Structure 1
Amino acid sequence: MFQRTSYVDNIHVKSISYSSIFQIGDSHYIYQLSRAIAVQREAEIYYDNEGEFSNYRVFTQPIHFEPIDEPISIQQHQLHPIIKVNNMNITGLSSSSMLNIGSSKHLSLEARVKHIRQIFPKENEHNSNS
């Protein structure tokens, strides 16, 4: 992995949350995982097992990565191994996202969210035309 020096003048990050990383410099191994169950409901009715990640397939099914079969030939010659950042303005990083000013070797970033909407059915839609 290339070794470079990162120079940063000014970075403003408003919000970082849920397994996100803001890093200046090189990294070798990064593993990030964010899981969430988001429930929106009209009535405050809670069920005993709704907070268990294992109850929802989205959290247990494997993610299949396609192998990269393309031949890649890279030749690099860095006369000045410096990463220079003048100004950055970041609104937010969330759910296993990453802002890295530097080199990264091995990354694994994963975010899984199950959204549940519990909305009451509309009353007698079929009878309203009578």
Structure 2
Amino acid sequence: MLKRSSVVNTVKVNSASFASTIQLGDSCSINGFSRALAVQREAEVFYGKEGNFSNYQVFSEPIPLMPITEKITISTHNTLPVIKVNTISIIAMSSAAILHVGNSENISLEARVKHIRQLLNADEEQ
């Protein structure tokens, strides 16, 4: 990995949550992982067994990663091996988001969300 310096004058992040990472400088690897159930209900009814990720196939399905088969040739020349950033301003980061200034050898990010909408039947409406 190339050795570089990262210079940032100002970083302002209002909110970073749910496996978010702020990384200034080089890293060998970054791994971000987040799972969430997003349930919208017409009525506040709780059944007591919500939140079991294993009940939903989306959380256990393998993610297909296509192999890179093209030959890649890279030639770089860094006159000044410094990464300079004046200002970074972020309102919010969530669900395995990464703010990274610098070099990284390996980055792996995964966020899985199951959206569920539970509507009342006509006879259940209040």
Q: Do they superpose with TM above 0.5?
A: yes
Structure 1: gaps spanning 5 or more residues: 124-130
> What is the aligned-residue identity percentage?
50
* AA matched with 1:108: S
Residue 27 (structure 1) aligns with: 27
TM-score, normalised on structure 2?
Answer: 0.90
SS of the aligned residue for 1:54 comes to: helix
CA distance in 1, matches of 2:52, 2:107: 27
- The ranges of structure 1 where at least 4 consecutive aligned residues each deviate by more than 4 angstroms after the TM superposition are none
Greater Cα radius of gyration, structure 1 or 2 = 1
Size of the alignment, in residue pairs? 123
CA distance in 1, matches of 2:54, 2:48: 14
CA distance in 2, matches of 1:49, 1:59: 17
Structure 2: gaps spanning 5 or more residues: none
CA distance in 2, matches of 1:116, 1:103: 38
Provide Cα deviations, 1:51-78, integer angstroms capped at 9, x if missing partner: 1100000101110111111211101111
RMSD of equivalent CA atoms? 1.4
CA distance in 1, matches of 2:87, 2:122: 51
After TM superposition, the structure 1 = structure 2 runs for residues 1-130 of structure 1, keeping only pairs within 5 Å, are 1-122=1-122
SS of the aligned residue for 2:115 comes to: strand
SS of the aligned residue for 2:106 comes to: strand
* AA matched with 2:103: S
